[in-house]
Amino acid sequence: MATAAPERTVKAGWWESFYQGLTYRGYEGHWAWIFHRVTGLGVLLFLTLHIVDIFLLTLGPGVFNSLLALYKAPAARILDVFLLFGVLFHAVNGLRIVIIDFWPHATRAHKAIFWAEVAVFLIVFVPSALVLLAPLFGWGGGAQS
């Protein structure tokens, strides 16, 4: 026998479910997913700006060179570290997802795989970030002039 539908129910709206999503106590996979989406969208935003900045080449060397001067500013190095973080995390985490998609048994060790990913990420990220930031600390000449 079919039961009658309840008279009145409440369901979370868009904002509330967004808030609920952030307050759900997720673990490794939950945070990896949130970071993957944020970095994916962040890199997409960068790529959009980047296509515009490379397009400025068509306006002649003057415009483009002043743009490069902007990229050489110390603040840009800090933004570079964010970009490095985004691209690198997205790439390494993307590979983790590909492994799980093609080898479902890997899900049994999903936490270990996540922490291995974090290790790989840090091994590449920390030295690269130091190279990027070196000129800010007055170390060496930086990777390039």
CA gap 13, 129 in Å, rounded: 40
* Distance in Å from the first CA to the final CA of the chain: 78
**What's the full length of the chain, in residues?**
145
CB nearer to ligand HEM: pick between 47 and 109: 47
CB of 85 to ligand HEM, least distance (A): 11
CB of 49 to ligand HEM, least distance (A): 10
Q: Is 36 an interacting residue with respect to ligand HEM (CB under 6 A)?
A: yes
Contacts of 143 (CB under 8 A, 6+ apart): 131, 132, 134
Q: Is 43 an interacting residue with respect to ligand HEM (CB under 6 A)?
A: yes
- Of the candidates 44, 139, 42, 49, the one whose C-alpha atom is nearest the C-alpha of residue 85 is 42
CB of 144 to another protein, least distance (A): 38
For residues 51 and 95, is the Cβ–Cβ distance under 8 A? no
Q: Is 54 an interacting residue with respect to ligand HEM (CB under 6 A)?
A: yes
- Where on the chain is the footprint of another protein (CB under 8 A)? 5-12, 17, 20-21, 23-30, 33, 97, 100-102, 104-105, 107-108, 110
